[in-house]
Amino acid sequence: MLEEIIVAVLYYTRLNQMREGDMLLVYDLSGGTFDTALMQKTNDGFKYLATPVAGYNDSTGPGVYGKSTSGAAGYFDGNVVVTGDITLTNADFAEDFEITCLEEVEPGTVMVLNQEGVLEPSRQAYDKRVAGVISGAGFYTIESIYRRQ
């Protein structure tokens, strides 16, 4: 089964002659979605220059989807509001906090928020102020950092 955006490209190219290197910006407004893709004609078909991004979806699947093999799959210029969960598959997420006693902190340290809202190592078992654990996995890096307000 072909993606709707591919079917739109195939339909267009049956009606219009395209040469190798020509680019095509495709819009698909069917099925409750708004899909777009920027494609370039190659000698054996088409390649995505900007892979499909789907907009509003009132049925199943993602409302916004992006995929890239050569750079960012999405870019938002401005605020993004999320009213549900954010899932980072195989990735870490961190918040930026001030830390007291930085010399005492190492991977695995359980951290709590003190009365000033600054992180410090927990000094008691079953501390209800726990904010998280300092991570550190060798060469692995944090995928996303939540900005401190």
Q: Between β-strands 35-42 and 45-54, what pairing exists: parallel, antiparallel or unpaired?
A: antiparallel
| Domain positions in the chain | 1-81, 93-146
Helix (H, G, I), strand (E, B) or coil at 100: coil
Is residue 56's pLDDT more than 60?
Answer: no
pTM score of the predicted model? 0.39
Give the Cα separation of 32 and 35 in Å (integer). 10
Tokens of 125: 């078992």
pLDDT tens-place string over residues 79-116:
777 777 777 776 666 677 788 887 778 888 898 999 99
pLDDT bracket for residue 122 (50, 70, 90) = very high
Are residues 105 and 122 in contact, defined by beta-carbon separation less than 8 angstroms? no
